[in-house]
A and B are shown apart, each in its own frame.
Chain A
């Protein structure tokens, strides 16, 4: 069974600084997708970034980038120039076929 682990229940970052959220996963599949989702207090799930396992290049979306280490099964999210609106729960997710697994989440706090 696939597992996704987020080892940091809470993280804090100063506004305008950079923070990295960790995610590791366990799988025997070779073809899969990884996602980071943001869940603000409204509880809406917002896709932040997506990475295809077959791509070696790390995905980037504006201030958000990932460090995808396939051999290490690691998928960390870097948020640059943190903004107050980045404060939320962040979930790492793994998708292979129709099997989706979420990590336990990391609560990110942004200090003004």
Chain B
């Protein structure tokens, strides 16, 4: 089955530093990847849609300069949290749609727990 690898699974960083999270589709090509944020006991909140070779589309209220998304290849999208602050502490999760499989089941990474001290 299709696998999405997300790395790191946990990261602790100091306030003011930047953190990069990787999302890789291991056995399929993903034209589109999604980045979500999930607060405790809440649903997944879509942050942005990442399309290979083009700029990401950010949801309303998400700062594109703070959450930098790069989708340079069909198998890799990265989310960089710049100048992280404690309020950025959260669970971040990515998902991918297999290229050419319109409306195929979304494949999720296992998520990254970010703690900013």
Contacts and interface: CB of A to CB of B under 8 A. Distances in A.
Interface stretch (A14-22, A42-50, A62-70, A74-82): A42-50
Contacts of B110: 42-44
B61 to A, nearest CB: 14
Interface in B17-40: 32, 34, 38
Chain B interface size range:
10 to 19
Given A43-B111, A98-B32, A105-B43, A50 B105 contact: yes
Contact of A35 (B43, B91, B97, B105): B105
A25 interface: no
Contacts of B43: 91, 102-105
Interface of B, helix, strand, loop or mixed by DSSP: strand
Interface string A74-112: 000000000000000001010111101111110000000
A95 B96 CA distance: 13
Given A98-B32, A98-B97, A100-B34, A47 B105 contact: yes
Contacts of B32: 98
Interface string B60-103: 00000000000000000000000000000001010101000001
Nearest to A42: B110
B108 A95 contact: no
A105 B111 CA distance: 17
Interface residues of A, number: 23
Nearest to A45: B108
A98 B49 contact: yes
B13 interface: no
B44 interface: yes
A55 to B, nearest CB: 12
Nearest to B1: A47
A33 B104 CA distance: 9
Given A91-B44, A100-B34, A102-B44, A33 B103 contact: yes
User: Which 5 A-B pairs rank lowest in CB-CB distance, beginning with the nearest?
Assistant: A45-B108, A33-B103, A104-B43, A102-B43, A105-B43
